Amino acid sequence: MSGVRAVITGTGSYAPSRVMTNDDFAAYLETNDSWIRERTGIRERRIAAEEESTSDLAVMASTKALAAAGLSPSDLDGILLATATPDILFPSTACLVQARLGASRAFAFDLNAVCSGFVYGLTVAKSMVESGAASKLLVVGSEVMSRSLDWSDRGTAILFGDGAGAVVVEASSVARRGLETFRVRADGRYWEMIHVPGGGARKTGEPPTIRMKGGETFKMAVRQLQESVEEVLAASGVSASEISLLVPHQANIRIIEALSARLGLPAEKVMVNIDRYGNTSAASIPVALDEAVRAGRVREGERVLLTAFGAGVTWGSGLLTWEADLQKRSRA
């Protein structure tokens, strides 16, 4: 399979219809719109309806990604779904999505690296495509984070939202670059920085809601994201000035601004939608990427940099060259 490249050929995203604003929190928490926006960059987020689940959001985003790629579900070899909020403990949410889509030929599995999950998923997809193990994959990030929140905790309740994003990754023998250099890392010694203490096999007596050490997380996120991005750029022989668009995990506007400043990237080269969605964990990057593509901010031959930091702790970055138009021409 030498010479085969993994290429993103379609993107899609979906957000629940319910909008929850900062003023909604101010009605019952000691906070206000100005306080939240100044510290996080968030002004609103989407919240799933009671009857909506992670698989529902994933199916909506996946359907759009498949349509953009010009594929039907039966064309897929596999589905990789990144989530920390599965519908049920098992089977995997990916299997539920496979059934709903009618992707009868596809294998399906979940992976959980929380906010870094989509970058992890693309890393796996790239390896499978370039090794010849698969030729058409759906990589999804889908989360219903609102089900894991303590709504009385001002430090975490205001941060998260629900959503899903998806991309189709295909094999191409004509693409110049496609998915280039990806690096993922983890350091489980710091698991307590961001975690959900209850709900698993360990009997902790704690509730299944998010706990986070905000200050420590902020400092580590900025440091590790910078190191991760620099590692990927060095391995690719690319300078930050050659990046057309940075699509970072949308965790906090201050983290995004600090990282952008350290890389010397102007605002017009950074994709930001945290103001409208909050932190949607594994869905964050694919939702932002889909919006950037549909808004014309990503064009053929341009380099795009993805980077994320999440619970685990986990982090990772990936460099890609946008080759979707080239791939569609090769198929035709």
pLDDT given for residue 2 in this prediction: 63
CB 79 within 8 A of CB 138: yes
Is residue 95 annotated as part of the catalytic site, yes or no?
no
**Total domain count, the chain:** 1
Torsion angles phi and psi, residue 165, rounded to 5: -140, 155
Is residue 112 annotated as part of the catalytic site, yes or no?
no
Q: Please give the residue range of the domain that contains residue 29.
A: 1-332
End-to-end CA distance of the chain: 21
pLDDT given for residue 324 in this prediction: 67
**pLDDT per position as a tens digit, 129-166:** 999 999 999 999 999 999 999 999 999 999 999 999 99
Burial class (CB in 10 A: 0-12, 13-18, 19+), 241: exposed
pLDDT given for residue 326 in this prediction: 52
Pick the catalytic residue: 112, 249, 252, 273?
249
The answer, yes or no, to whether residue 325 has pLDDT greater than 90, is no
**pLDDT per position as a tens digit, 65-90:** 999 999 999 999 999 999 999 999 99
CB 134 within 8 A of CB 30: no
Reported pTM:
0.97
Pick the catalytic residue: 95, 115, 252, 273?
115
CB 178 within 8 A of CB 7: yes
Here the CATH number for the domain that contains residue 267 is: 3.40.47.10
**Residue 329 — very low, low, confident or very high, per pLDDT cuts 50/70/90?**
very low
Q: What is the rounded average pLDDT of the residues 289-297? A: 97
